[in-house]
Amino acid sequence: MGVLTGFGVWINQNTQQPLKAESTRSENVKSTSKSEKDSNNQELYYDKDEQLRQGKLWKDAEKKHPWYDAPPRVKVATKNGICHMSIELTMGYPPETVYELFTNPNNGKFFDMDMFGRQLLENKSRKVLKKDGPREIAETKKAVAMNFLWWSGSIPITLIVDENKKDLTAKYKKEKMMFMKVFEGSYKVEPLYVDSERLCMHMKPKSKEEYRKCSGGQGKIASKVIMDQYFQPSFPFNLPPISCYIRETTINTTKTLLQMLQFTGATMRGV
């Protein structure tokens, strides 16, 4: 969930946690790739017209047969004090749009206020450290609402996020994060050809081009998000019973925030 872009990742009473990847020195590298640009002058690495067409397919289909996003599937294992979350989830919208939900720094507005009226995840700043075509490494600063025992407030988090907008992948790793010795992970968004059995007969399409051809341009493309997240509380928060509290809160909050993104996708479909 930066993470995660987007997606991100967050710590809150429903603890939220942030994103960061490999630290790298600040560089300005001009992209050598040629591509379309969106209304914000950002380079696009996909077919914009096809994306609009997919959006219409989803909205039209939602009126007749609403899509259901199952809750995220999460497997948790702990080794040498480091907790590993293996996550899979589906979203009823095309991969490029879903990736944008994860990585766009303005998407904090999708995360609701808590009972104290605080935004759960607030984006403070984003500084591009390196850009080379579809790959971009950025330093992001966020504020995460958190309640810990008797303390209530927001904590600052600095992350390094390594995104590839063409491959729809991202890595993140903390640079500064209270309570955490280790916090890092990665995610990728893959296409799901959800109408292939109905429209493509016995053919299993291996690409968007094959899918569009065999479905007559009527096949919807959904998304599968695969995410790995690792975290370890710093001393003394790695000792029981505090470590158990942080572990469970981190896991539950990550699930909650991913479900918020799923709800956002459903809203975009017109639910």
What does pTM read for this prediction? 0.79
Say if 79 falls within a structural domain: yes
**Parent domain of 139:** 11-24+48-269
Instruction: Give the integer Cα–Cα distance in Å for 10 and 96.
Output: 23
Report yes or no on 164 lying in a domain: yes
Residue 2 lies in a domain: no
Rounded Cα distance, 168 and 71, in Å? 21
HSE on the CB side for 33, CA within 13 Å?
A: 17
- φ and ψ at 210, to 5 degrees? -60, -40
Residue 224 confidence (pLDDT): 97
Residues of the chain predicted below pLDDT 50: 1-35, 39, 115
Q: What is the pLDDT of residue 42?
A: 63
Decide if 36 is inside a domain: no
Question: What's the confidence (pLDDT) of residue 16?
Answer: 34
Q: What is the predicted pLDDT for the residue at 143?
A: 77
CATH code for position 105? 3.30.530.20
Q: What is the pLDDT of residues 140-177, one digit of tens each?
A: 988 777 666 666 777 788 999 999 999 999 999 999 88
* Number of folded domains that form the chain: 1
pLDDT at 2: 46
Tell whether 174 is covered by a domain.
yes
Which pLDDT value is given to residue 1?
41
- Pick the closest to residue 187 from 77, 88, 108 (CA basis): 88
